[in-house]
Structure formats: structure tokens, C-alpha cells
Structure 1
Amino acid sequence: MFAEVNPYEREAYLISPDLSFLDKIKINGICLEFYTHIDFPHFLKVYLAFKSRIIIFIAERGKRITGGVAIDDIRIIECQVANETAATPSKNEEKNSKTLLECSFDTDLCFYEQSSTDEFKWFVGEHTLTPETGPQTALSGSFIYVEASKGDEGNEAYLKSPIVIINQTVCIVFFYHMYGMDVGNLIANLIINDEMNGEENISNFRHVLVNSKHNLGDIWNEFRFNFPKKYMNKKVQLEFIAIRGSGIEGDIAIDEITLLDGKFIYAEASMGSWNDKTFLQSVKVKFTKDYCLSFYYQMYGKDMGSLDIYLLIYNSNGTVITNKIDVLKKVDSLGLLWRLKTFNIPEKVWQKPVQLIFKAIKGFGVESDVAIDEIQLTNGKCLKNYNPIALQCSFEQGSCQYEIVSDSSFTWYVSGAFSKTFETGPNTKFSGNYLYTESSKGNEASKTYLKSPRITFETTTCVSFYYNMNGREMGRLNVSFVTFSKNGNEILEENKILEESSNLGDVWNKMNYQIPQKSLYRPSQIIFQATRGNGFKSDIAIDEIKVTDGKCIDIEGATYLECSFDFSFCNYIEQNNSSFSWLIGTYTLSSQTGPQYNLIGPFAYVEASKGKTNDRAALSSKIVKFIKTTCVSFNFHMYGKDMGRLIVIIRLFKSTEKKEYEKVSDAIILNETRNLGNIWNFVNYEINGDYLLKPVQLIFEAYKGHGFRSDIAIDEIHLSERSCN
């Protein structure tokens, strides 16, 4: 018997004939037996109506309009039944369901148990064994994973939680990772042991949460599932099944299983037609002072429509003022993550009746649900969560948006000179000014803090900075990444980026930090804490705090290619054959040529009012090596009617027996001669294949045109460890 999906009906019923004749049969026990086939995400419910002596099968449609539910070979057979005494809860059932289901896998499996083939099984660790597969960075601490270098294709590894009873509304959250060209399949189920009226178990089925067979790349994917009310007070169990793929590059990992309290409100897209609208309206209220409106929203599904949130303002007679105030406008799928929106109630609406409107518009299909949660009003203006770009600072104009907090005269200073104290502090600048602590002030163990503004990350992001710890009486530098609760009042987690107390010599050291996936869309802050050592030879310095999209890069020395040209050429060397040369500034000298505006601060440029036609000026990087596929990007500007030429080259070298570098070939990234107007142009170039693990150099060659209106500029050279695609 097959229940086919009907988009206009939610349920289909199959009711047995009267079974009261079974009361007259004298046997030890009677069992119901049947076979099922259920297409995700549909459901099958089975009920035994004791008074009317009938069995009811209910096929319930999920969010898709394909597939269905099938049953076959329904039989009533004689079987043994348990004594009708009250069941004693197991030790696991007596424990809190939150305690039993939650696990960070930092040391062990918590209360989870596994079953698998001999070799293909779950392991706890901070990394997997095979390159190009498995998590390259953990969410926090360790995670649990299957190692695809073991076992055979199709092997299965099971991980199951204890059986628990959940009696309140919760959201089940976990992260999973599937990276590698041979990745197999990950299935996550909620197993429901359905007991009716305290009688025997007549139904045991799996609600599929995740069924993924794709290489999702080296990212952690978040899954959230609101525990259905219909499963409350029933015995349930979490189950994870990893199925090995066709090769060794198929590691699968999971981490951070948590239970969150609360419900949300959503627009169900399996009902209605395309472009249908639904509204959620607040009561009318009046504001008399500053308030911060905040809420979370989720828009996930390939058929996604739109979400429009705004304030309506009313006159005293109750009529709507024409111009509404937009709070949020979003279209298209934004993924599984919940996103935070904060909004300051504007002063111009004070003392007027206002109403908050949430308008969801259905997309093209059933996969366009829109949800909102945790609508809150708090006194005062919204806690300002800056864009992550606010973290960037080169300390050329002070400490940017960072706050300095000190407990003594030992504090942070901006300097562009070398250290005032012998045998401590930087004796070579990294680029322009830097920030440092002066240890000739303060006492041993004095502390000073540098705190970033609170920011909100929305995508995979890498934060990097340079630090210098030179001095035989060195103290300590601690750098932390702090994640706050939604309202910003509570610290949820503090991760250590750096803990260093050694004398590292007079060198600038680079530190990269990958922002954890679970910290996205939450207020965050970076804190630098410097502690004075046991003497004045313990100066600490930092410089060039930067934020880049994507994963942190892992290459040998190639970071020397990065430069924003903020008052220096960084690690580039200038070569020219005349007065036509590279300069740094925020504008060029001649009119109708060169950048009329900058990207971010100063840039590098050639001044065409000097030199002769075809004069060459070159900027050459250090020779470096790339370990992994990397995308090199930069911006360039070519404006002026006498324009010359800009050539950008990646030069490949080989090492000779004398340990010198010999040129092998040049790859042309850019060869441009046109007047492109007063705009900045973006270029990226992928380093891969023959250029990996070999000496390479990046070269910018500018050639003067036939007049002074041929200024050329470059800026913002960056690297990202990914394909440029």
C-alpha cells in the first residue's frame, strides 16, 4: 500500500477493520508486524485505538511534494509480552537529557557509543591523518571523525547517544564537516521509540536530520533542528552514520552537539502560492527615549523568497504616514545560520504611534521557509557591533578604534622610531608606526590591555597580526578572542589566540587566527594583554592587524607578498633607471591622471611628470614559496590620456648548486596599456601546479607613456588560501 504525496492534503489515513475478535483468542500475547518504506522528509504514525479495537496508519506529508510512504505485509502474530509492571528508568534516563546528548568531543565520546567495522570507526582528535581531507582547523579543541585511510568502500561507522526523554522545547545543534574528493555519506537521525498510552512499543522509526553525500569543502557546516512537540516525553536517540567513500580522501567529522532552549516563529512555504505574503504585526507603541530593537532571522532554501521588516508610523488620528522606515530587506537563501539584526529606534518617531511589521514573501517552491526569533527591546542605543574591518590597524594614525586600558604607567604607545631602550623592543620597523609597551615604566607583572571594538563576523574570516618580543627580561603577551551572548552582556567563550613569554629576538613574528564558525553572527572582541617582565628589557610590540575573507593562509614566507602600502613598500624592493620611480601617497601631483580617490589609505604609484617615455620603474617582492593553492589579488589604477604600460609578473626560479636562484620562466598576470578611467580595477591570479613549493617572485613593472598624464597606481596586495574561482 502506497500513500503518494498530494500537495493539497497533509495526511492520508489507513484504518484497519474491527479487531475486537482478538479479545476471545486465548494466547499469551499479540504483536503487530509490518514493513515500511518512507521517503524523506515524510512521516508514518501508527496508533492503536483500544476502545474501538482498530489500528490507524497515518502518512504525513513533509516539506516536499515528491515521494511518499509505503507499508506492506501487515500481520498480527502471537508473541511474548512483558509483565505489566511499571518500567524502571535506566540510569541514563534518570540523567538530564541535555547532559546526555551534549558533547564537544574534547577528550572522549561523552555518553555516546559507537559500533562499526574493525577499522573504519570514529576517532577523537584535533586533525585527521590524510592531507586534502578532513578538518584543517577544529571548531574548538578536538572533534570526532572517521578516518577514510582505513576500511573499504561502503563500510559504515555508527555513533549513538543514550536513549533520553525530552520534555521541553529545545533546538538540537551540531556541526559536521565533509571535505575530500572521495567523501562518502553522512546520515544523522533522530530515532523515536513511540510508546502509546504506556502500552508496549508499537512503532520505532527514524527522523532523518542530515543525509549528505557531497564534498562540502574545508568548512564546518551548522545544523539546527527544533525538537517537535509530538516527540516530547517519548524515548529518543541521536544516531550518526558515516559511510566510507571510494578512497582515502573522504574523512567525515562532527563536533559541538548542543541543546538550546526555545521556539521560533516561521512562515511555512509548503502552503500557498508563489509571491504570497504573510504579515506579523506588533501592537502600536510610543517611544520616548532611545531603544535598541534586536532579533534573529533565518532564510534557508533553494526556492527562497524575501523578508521585509519595517516600522509604520501613525498620525494622532490613526492614519499611516506614507514613508515607512526600513529595518531589514533580504532576498535569497542565506544558509542555515541564524543572523542577528540590531536597529536603533530613530528619534524622529518618538512620541508617535509606531508598529513593527515582518513581511515574508513566498518563493518559487516549498523550500523557502522564513523564520524569526528572539525579538527584544533594550534601553539605550544598540551595542555597536562594528564591521570586522574595524579590527584592521597599522597604527599610523594612533590606535584606530582600539581601547587602551592600563593599571599603571606601563601602557601601550605608538611609535615610528626604534626602541629607546638598548637590547629590547624593535630595532627594525615592520612598516611605518607600530604599537609597543615601554618597560622602563611600571613594575614587574604590571598589565596593559588593548581591546578591539565589538564586531560581528558573517563569513569565514582570518585575523592576522605581527608581534615583536625582544629582551632578556621578557614578560608575557596573551591574545584572546572573546565571543559574547546575543545581548552582549555575557561572555560565552574565550579562545586563546596566543600565549607567549619567550625572548624571541629582534624579529617580527606573524600570527594567523581562524574565526570559529560557531562565533559567526555573535558579538566578538579581540584583546591583547601585555604583562611587564622582571626588568626594563621586556618591551613588546604589535603591528599590522589585518582581516581577510576565507581561511587563514598556510604558506612558507609568501605572506611577504602582502602589502597595503601604508607609508612603506613593505617587503618590496624598488628598481628604476631614472627619476621615474615608485612613490607612496594618497594622491598624485598632476591633474586628469592618477587616482582621484584612494581605496584604503595610501597607495603606491609612479609619477609621470618625471622621466622620459618608456622609462621603467619596477617593484619586486622577496623570493618566496607557496605550499598550497593560493589566490593572489591586487588593485590597480590607470587613468590618463598619455597612458603607458603596467606589466605584472610571477617569476619562477630554480636553485643552483651554489644555492643561488636562476630564472626559469615568467607568467604574465597583467599586461595593460589602456586608459581605464578614474577607477580602481581588481585582479586575482591563482598560484598552483608547477609554481607550488618552488621559488617565485611577484614583480610590478610600470612604463611611462608619451606624456605626463600617465600615472599608474597599485594597492592592497592580498593572499587567500583558496582557488580564485
Structure 2
Amino acid sequence: MKYFVYLRGLQGNQGDKWLNGQVTVKSSSYYRIRIERVVGNSFQGDAAIDDLRIFENPCVLTPPDADPSNIVPTTTSTKPTITNPPGPYDCTFESGLCNGWENMANNRFNWTRVQASTVAAPEIDHTTNTVQGYFMQADLSKGQANDYARLKSPTLNNPQCMTFYYHLLGQGGTLNLYMAAGDNLGISLWKRKGTQGDLWRFGRMEIKKTNVNIVFEAIAGPNSIGDVSIDDVIFTSGACKESAAIGESCTFTDFAQCGFTQNATASSLQWKTYTGSDTQVRTTPIPFDHTTGTNRGSYAYIDLESQGENLNGRLYSPMYKSTKTQSYCLEFYYVLAGSNNTFNILTETTGSTPRALFTRNYDHDFIWNKGEITLPPLNNVRIVFEIITGYLRQGFVALDDSMVKEGECSLRANECTFDDNTYCSWTNAADNQFDWILRNGTTPSADTGPNGDHKIYFDNRPRCFSFWYNMYGVDVGRLIVNVRSLVSANLTSESLVWALAGPRARGKSFEGDIAVDEIGVQQTDSCKLQPFEADPVEVSQALVTCRFEDDFCQWKFDPTGQFNWTRHTGSTGSSGTGPTTGADNSPFYIYIEASYPRVEGDRAGLISPYISKPIGTMCFQFYYHIDIPYNFALKLDGYVGSGWEGDISLDEIFLTDGECPPTDWCDFETSFCGWINDTTCDFYWTRTQKATDSIGTEPTTDHTTGTDRGYYIYIETSSPQIRGQKARLISPMYT
């Protein structure tokens, strides 16, 4: 049977501008969305749409006058509404604070039943998905640091599985759940801390004891801003269902209960279950699970410390026998610590070679990371979670909250901007009297339609930008990631956030290629920088550093100057002025010529590459040579940037007679600092980083930074050196 549900409608002139529209879609079965335009009584008018997106949470009807009850639809629905009667402990808060629910007497501030239309967020409740709906809310701004608001349920007489929806938005808030005996809370069994986004999220907790009360606790932090809200608290008698079936979630309380099995050969690594026991809490590197956010939850894990090399541990899902012909999404959370292990996810059918769908082989730190994989139609297929150990024999892998659900993964699959000149997966309906048309710029009709498409702008919350890269070749150049912000209509601000490889934008020859793949912005507030040597602060230091031996490195000429700096070796063209060599007796340096055709006031500027915002103090060092046979002045220019967040400070400026003295210390991070090898000796000191060529004899880090990114100097005493040979290093001349 085919039927249509009329969700929203607008009519009449809405003005010459792009307007946001949104509507909540509810369906217990498969559905398609149909966008319909009805022609008015003249030719003067166009309707255009752009940037179609589907979100995984309800939304406010926008604009409010698009209520379908105000407009007669061209198709109607007779589909009945189905509701389930509430249980004795359930509460949707639509009719009030349900029987037995109450604020606790010792609260510092209270939970309040509010209507969505009366508060800033959330904009709608979860039960009705409208601004008329009600929910419970704790306003964090009403509490001081560590103040709490506690909402207690009625007494539960038997074990229950409790589900609920929560909304945690703002700064400094925490939501805890307790299984309390009267006023004795015990320990937190479920926790979320910090903003969780402007949407209703699903939560679940199993109540194993009898004669207990559930307590929702909101805690304010220092200078907290925002709210904690809950809605639709529902109880089901018995334990929470653990299943790997489609649409169900496995929290790994017992992965065998979910239908997971593992390879049991003697050479295989064995997945174990973390259950929050006292011993595990003391020894595990990550004592909280993803489901509850506490040390009383559970997850599957393998500790890779001191395990053999190239061993594997596989966790097999149950077999998905036969499903509908559509895509599915595997959603899971994982921890992968250690830089030399490989975490794979494969699909496997009987008698065929496993197919790899997901691979991670670098250190993700001891945090829970979200993973998603779009799966093809499932028919006699099982999913394999696999870890393979590397030669370092250390690390940790964990898995939690695995779910296979219908539909493709991520918002990208549910978005269409029409910018690739296609309809994505949308189609014109077969029974149309006329069709929707793809177009850029204006429409053909004068004084109607938009002037261009709708642009999407993103908020300023932190996000994790992820991509895969391949840089291969003897002369491969450099890969840089900058964030460009729109400051005004014609001005952008750019900042360096990631960079890797050599000091050139392009390699010296054609022998090198750079490739990128799987670029995306993850829906998480932060992530670990990978790889560590792409640190933008350290890269900024490397990019600014220039000895001018080959070129100007990343420094650019200031286009507002009257002339440019010149790279040179030997004496300058003017007799009796200028240096004869570069600093540290290096061949090349840069200079400006004050002779003809230059005139007084001419300026030559040199601009550095973008410098990433430093965490602490930075030191800018340079060598200069000024040879001027007449009175002169020095000018220091400070330029205002694109924003107000920044100051430039100077202190202790002085001028002395004679040449600049050599520096009295050297960390060898950028050069030999004027120290030179004695050419009369048998071999030389070498500047390097990381390991030397001899195995088992070198330092693993330098002394300055304490990492393998720093530089030091060393001598190699292995072959071809022989006993008695010398390597001597000579300092600069000190006065």
C-alpha cells in the first residue's frame, strides 16, 4: 500500500532570500520524502531548494507557519497513530512530575519541569518533538561550583532496564546517575561531562537491585553556563537486552550474550571483558567504558603489552543470515593505543576471503573514538574485529557499543548540496506535471528566484579534521593544512594547523608524489595530532628558519615595498660596504642595496610564512650586518592583523659597538651555531635526530626537547673508524 503523510507546507511570496526550513519525520517503516511545488495563478514566481540534509534527531518546525494543518494537501494519509501505555515508573513529564518523582531535600538548586517554548535550549522536547512539549531541566547558571541538583525516582521493586533521553549543552556541566538506597547515593553508575551538542541523546542503565531509587544528578562547575535536561524515562522489567542483531546495541557486558565468538587457537590473542572490578580498575589503562562513562561499565579489550609480534585476536559477530537489499551502518567505539599495532574490521562469508573495510594502525591515545562503516546488503555475512600486534610489543585495544543499523552512515549520506550538478539520490516523481531543474546563478525568469545557491557556514566549535595521506618519492615536497576563516566579505584569516615533510613547497625534481584520501570532519570536539611530527608549532619554527643557502625558503617579498631583498654570496656590489660571507661563515645571505637607483625612504619587506599560535613564549633570532657610512635611524614596524586577539611587545632594545658576539650556548636544533669541525682531524661530528646508524648504541632522544624530534651531534666510532682517530669541534671566537 502506498500512502503520503503531509508534513509541512508554505504558500505565497516568501521574499528574495534563502530561508531555512525543517520538519521532524517520524515513521516506523521505510519511507521516502516527496517535495512538491504547486503552480500559482501566474508565471511570476519561482521556488528553489538547496542543501537538503537529514539529521538523526528531531527538530523544530521552521518556519512556524509551515504547519500542514494550515494548507490543504494534494495527498492525504489515513495511517493510524500507535502509542504504548506507560508503565508504573515511566515518566514523559507531559502531564507533570510523575507520581513518586521528586527533588531531593538537600539540593543546592532544583530540577524544574519546563516547556520547550519557554527556555533557550533544547528547542523541543523529546516526547512530542514540538515546542509545546515538557521535560525536566537543571539550569547550571543557578549553581555555584560543585553545587548539585538531584531528581529521585520512585522506589523500584524489581530489576529494571531504564532508558532515557538527555540534553547537555553549555560549559562546565556534569550529569550523573545513581542507584540509591534512600538518601545514600553510592557511586555514580553512569556519567556524561561537558557539552554533548544541541540534540537529545539516548541513554540506558541496568538496575540490578531491588528497593532502590534512581537519582539523576546535575552538577555545576566553575562559571557554568547552560542546562542539563532529561525526558522520556522508561523502565522495562528485567535486564537490559544485549544483542548484536540489527538495530540492537552490544555494550559488551558479556560479548557471548551478544552472539560474539573469538578464535581460540593457542597462538591467538584472546579478547577479555572489562567489568570494573577493583583489580581491573587498578591495572587497566582506561578505567571507564563508553556506555556509562564510569569504571562500573564494561567493554571488550586486549592488553598488547609484552605480547608476541604479528599475533592476531579476532572477535566474530553472529552471522547475519538474510536481510533487505539496502545499505547498513556499523557504528562502534574503540580505543587503540600504541603506534605499531593494526586494528582491522572485515566482513566474512562462508568459503570466501575476508574483505577489509576499516584499518587503523597509528596511536589514537587512551580515549574512546567513534568508528562508522557503511556496509553493503548483508546476506550470510559476519563482521570481524581484528587486532594484529607489531614489533614494539606494547599497546592496548578496546571495543564498546557496537551496533548495526539500517541506512548509510554519517550525515554525508543524508545531505545533498547539488553542487556536483546531480540530484544525489533524489529523483523527480514519475507523476510530475513539470520537474525540478538543476541550476546555478539566477533563474531564467526576470525578478524571480535566487541570485545563487545557498552557502553553508559552520559554527566555531572545535572539530577533528581527519584524512589519509601518502607521500612517496626521494624528492617529495611538503603537505600543509591551513584553516581559513572568513573575517569579512573580502578578507580571510589563515592559520597553520598541520604540516609534514621537507622545507620546500615543491620537491627538487619530479621524483615524488603526494596523495590524500578520505577527507572529513568528525563529529567530535577534539582528537590527537597524527603524526606527532606534524605539530604546527614545531612546523612553524622549521618553516620560519632559513639560512638562505638554496633560496628564500618560505619567506615572501612584501608587495607593498619599493624594492626587494637580494640573495647573494661574497661581497656586495658596493665597495667598502656589506659582509664578505654569511653568518657562521656560510656562503649565502640576503641584503638590500642602498645605492642608486634607491632613494631615501624606499622600503624592502620580507614576510614570514604563517606561524601557528604558540602555547608559550617563542624566541625569534637572526644575524644582521649594517654597514652605513652616515647618520641613520632604525625603524620597527608593527602591523595590526585581522582580529583583536593579539599583542606585540618589545623590551630591552640596545645597540653596542663592534660585531655581535657569538651565542654562548648551542642546542643544535637548527645548526652548529658557529661551531665548526676541525678539518685536520680524521672524521667529523655529525648533527642528527632520532637514532644513529649503529643499533643499540645511540640515544633515543635529544636532551633539549626530550623527544626523537630534537637534534644533537655525535661521532660514529664504528667501522670505518679505527682506534686512535680523532674528531674535533672548534667553537666560535669569544671575547
TM-score range (shorter-chain normalised) is 0.3 to 0.5
TM-score by length of 2: 0.34
What TM-score, normalized by structure 1, do the two folds share? 0.35
Q: Which has the higher strand share?
A: 1
